Amino acid sequence: MTFSAFYLSQKLAPTLALLAANVKRLHLLALLLLFLTPLALAQPASPAFPLHTSGAHIVDSAGTPVHIHAVNWYGAESSDFVVAGLQSLPLAAITAQIRGLGFNTVRIPLSNQLVESNPVPGNYALAANPSLQGQSALAILDQVIASLTSAGIMVILDNHGSDAQWCCSNTDDNTLWYNARYPESAWLADWQTLATRYGSNPLVIGADLRNEPRNTASWGGDPSNDWHAAAQRGGNAIQAIAPNWLIFVEGVNYALDLSGASALPIQLNTPSHLVYSAHDYGFDYSNLTSYTDYVNRITPKWAYLLTASSPTPVWLGEFGTCDNANICVTSGSSANSGYWFGFLSNFIQANNLDWSYWAINGTQSTGSGRTWGAQEGYGILNTTWSAPALPALTAAMATLSGTTSTNFALATSGAVSIAHPGLSGTATLTLTPKSNFSGTVNLSCTLTGIPSNAANLPACSLPTSATLSGSPATATITVTTSGSGTAANHQHPFPWRPASGAALACMLFALPRRSRRIFACALAGILTLTAASCSGGGSTQITPPPVPSTTAGTYSFTILANSSSTDYGQTQLTVTVP
């Protein structure tokens, strides 16, 4: 018996005995027994927290390098006061999308206005999450962070602006880390509030002190504009409460310029938690001619920090490209964003640079020049938040994040078509070793794309691992849906596993002797979907209660595989439900 089955048998046996002694309708017991089905997903290896820095790298407590492959999830910094997308999909589904696409960290932009006023966001922004409606912005943020970190996704909080608005310009009165409505004292206090609130969660790993200081912001000089000095004050204030957090310090001029750190570096009370942060977009360049030209332009601004005599980690906190054509990702013409994006991608790979793509969002949040719910032109996801907007872009992200394995290749046998809600379908996953690789490959399957307003979502299962020994191996992927199936071929929407049977057997013997017979009859009725008389008076057919059906449409599952903490692969499986 597995530990979970034993635990359930011990804890639930008294309750089930009471219910079985008084059960009048078998479907009530059936609903309770559904909770006994175990779910096991192979989780990617987690770092040993807390993190710190060593030379040019972020490392875990064991000294192992930790590479941040992040995505920005914006919206909470705007006057919506909540991350975007919750109008389209449940929170758990967006978390699954992020994890399934290979991102291990999320950068969440926030405003001082959110922290201090803590308003209740409008229901329009939470249409797909009714349980969050009526809650305050911080309470919702708590649940967003809990959802991400429970899935093994790290979180970096970003002070994106003082006022709740779309960023950024030189005239929005949010160019410095303070303004008349939110002075520096408020900026420091709000960071300490966040540090107090989330400092005990080991997967909330740090604070991006201020997004894109600009206009009059300087590195040194006039104290009223001196971002270097303010960043030290802010970093030390956070470290006093959350000493394990990494402190991310952006450059000036929209985070494009960290050249001042050469002569005037940031000095924190705990120096091994400093990470510099740069931003990089194609529109920041004109007349690029080659990869060498690109490197020559970024080196004096921020790339020099990676190879200086005392190197310091640099995190590319924002970069992004358009999502409407493949030339956004790769192009031989300087007229296209893909020209710059190719150079940046090469630099990231050559230097193993930590990064955060802007943005996961499929739709815009509220703000100046923005239309709530309109297409986000730089988004990873489409406007329904149910699938990638541009496959070429998600493929590029997989390459940058290392989710293209060097030890094996994986592929599915094709799309799965479910004949009727309530039935299941299968596909074959094939793993092919590279260079005669031998070893164990951990496997998991995550729902990452669903139709709009979908309910009673399908589930995916497969073995937790496969063993390669120089030749290909296969694994069966099973997708189950809910519903009544067909009269000729009914299948229960929740597959029974051996561990469930063991738990049931244990609970049967945990019941008082006089109750076992009743419970056994109930169990038999559930497993056969008929009710048999246990008193010897014959039998009657009982029609099972209707089972809510999986919403019709096309679903996407992401299959993740890893042979080590640094070697990952992924592939997609499309499932159609009529």
Give per-residue pLDDT as tens, 525-552: 444 433 343 444 444 555 667 789 999 9
Q: How far apart are CA 165 and CA 182, in angstroms?
A: 14
* CATH architecture, domain 68-401: Alpha-Beta Barrel (3.20)
Cα pseudo-dihedral 328, 332, 333, 334, rounded to 10? 80
pLDDT at 358 exceeding the cut of 60: yes
Decide the pairing of beta strands 354-357 and 408-412: unpaired
Q: Residue 444 is inside which H or E element, if any? A: strand 438-449
Is the pLDDT higher at 573 or at 227?
A: 227
Over residues 103-122, mean pLDDT: 98
Give per-residue pLDDT as tens, 21-77: 443 333 333 333 333 333 333 445 689 999 999 999 999 999 999 999 999 999 999
How much is the mean pLDDT over the chain? 85
Over residues 113-124, mean pLDDT: 98
Q: Residue 342 is inside which H or E element, if any? A: helix 337-351
Cis peptide before 265 (omega within 30 of 0): no
Q: How far apart are CA 154 and CA 98, in angstroms?
A: 11
Full-model pTM: 0.75
Q: Residue 500 is inside which H or E element, if any? A: helix 498-510
- Among 30-34, 341-345, 510-514, which stretch is predicted with the lowest mean pLDDT? 30-34
pLDDT at 493 exceeding the cut of 60: no
Over residues 263-272, mean pLDDT: 98
pLDDT at 83 exceeding the cut of 60: yes
User: Could you tell me where the beta strands, DSSP code E, fall in 86-182?
Assistant: 105-111, 154-161
Active-site option among 77, 250, 318, 376: 318
Give the other-Cβ count within 10 Å of 363's Cβ. Answer: 22
Give the other-Cβ count within 10 Å of 426's Cβ. Answer: 11
Which candidate, 144, 75, 62, 142, places its Cα nearest to that of 109?
A: 75
Q: How far apart are CA 231 and CA 296, in angstroms?
A: 27
| pLDDT band per the 50, 70, 90 thresholds, residue 262 | very high
Active-site option among 77, 212, 250, 376: 212
pLDDT at 394 exceeding the cut of 80: yes
Domain ranges across the chain: 3-36+494-540, 68-401, 408-485+550-577
User: What does 218-262 look like in DSSP terms, one character per residue?
Assistant: BSSSSTTTBHHHHHHHHHHHHHTT-TT-EEEEE-HHHHTB-GGGT
Q: Are 297 and 285 in contact (CB under 8 A)?
A: yes
Phi, psi dihedrals of residue 259, rounded to the nearest 5°? -65, -30
* Fold type of domain 408-485+550-577: Immunoglobulin-like (2.60.40)
- pLDDT score at 248: 99
Is 77 designated active site?
A: no
- pLDDT score at 546: 79
Is 116 designated active site?
A: no
pLDDT at 489 exceeding the cut of 80: no
With 0-12 / 13-18 / 19 or more C-beta atoms within 10 angstroms meaning exposed / middle / buried, residue 466 is buried
